[in-house]
Amino acid sequence: MTISVKILNDQIKKISETNSLLDMLLEFEKTLDSLNLYAFKNWMEGEVLEGPTIKRHYINVKLLYPYKKMPDPDGAKRLIARDCLVEYKKDTLVKPVRVKTYDDVQVDIAPDGRSRYKAKTSSEPCWVVSIDMPRKYVDEFSSENVEVEEDQYVNMDDIGKENELPVNNAMGSAGAGFTPGGGLPLTPGPGETI
């Protein structure tokens, strides 16, 4: 899979728009910090590529590293000791070249004859580290809203309310002698006379 800078920008925008994802990402980072993972070489250099993605038992975050700054595998051993699943993959990062001269621009001609100028791209190898962390380390965030599918959220306070019956407490007692129809009781309650 080739990674483009647009994918990185879209992921940053998605996380910034949703406070619960941002909180979850901060809890994820807090867990990495509490494991002293950043003491190992190059773990500090990572950028969030994808995630956090919520699974049933795990939270997945993919981190992007330059090829020459591969994170130390000894740091991954700390994560594995805490029941995390860590996977390293080589990949290619495609990004636009900084335009300094006309040679850095690619000219595309549209069918109607207009010219479109785009910056040329360069590709460089990179590392993608995928970390599946157990939810018990990250579930300290507010669970009022839970992501069901991508960009769809459910308010947890609304779950189950459609099956609740309205409580009619017009008689003042805690249900003694109360009938579902809201009328008078059919039989007297304890201590009541007709």
Task: Provide the percentage of residues in the chain whose pLDDT is more than 90.
Answer: 10
Q: What is the pLDDT of residue 170?
A: 47
Which of these, 68, 21, 6, lies nearest to 42 by C-alpha position? 68
Close Cβ partners of 27 (under 8 Å, ≥ 6 residues apart) = 137, 138, 139, 140, 141
Short-list 54, 72, 78, 70, CA closest to 147: 54
For residues 13 and 7, the answer to whether their CB atoms sit within 8 Å is: no
Ordered by start, the domain boundaries in the chain are 2-94+122-144
According to the model, what pLDDT value does residue 90 have? 92
pLDDT value, residue 104: 82
Average pLDDT of every residue of the chain: 75
pLDDT band for position 179 (50/70/90)?
A: very low
**Which pLDDT value is given to residue 173?**
47
pLDDT over threshold 60, residue 82: yes
Write the DSSP string, the chain.
-EEEHHHHHHHHHHHHH-HHHHHHHHHHHHHHHHTTGGGSTTGGG-EEEEEEEE-SSEEEEEEEEEGGGPPPHHHHHHHHHTT-EEEEEEEEEEEEPP--SGGGEEEEE-TTS-EEEEE-EEEEEEEEEEEEEEGGGTTTS--SEEEEETTEEEEGGGTTGGGPPPP--TTSSSSTT--TTSS--SS--TT---
Q: Tens of pLDDT along 89-136? A: 999 888 888 888 888 888 888 888 888 888 888 888 999 999 998 888
| Surface-to-core class of residue 85, CB atoms within 10 Å of its CB (0-12 exposed, 13-18 middle, 19+ buried) | middle
> What is residue 141's predicted lDDT score, i.e. its pLDDT?
46
Whether 87 has a pLDDT exceeding 90, the answer reads yes
Q: How sure is the predictor about 10, in pLDDT bands with cuts at 50, 70 and 90?
A: confident
pLDDT top residue among 40 and 160: 40
pLDDT at 15 over 90: no
- Give mean pLDDT, residues 77-97: 88
In the prediction, which pLDDT does 145 show? Answer: 47
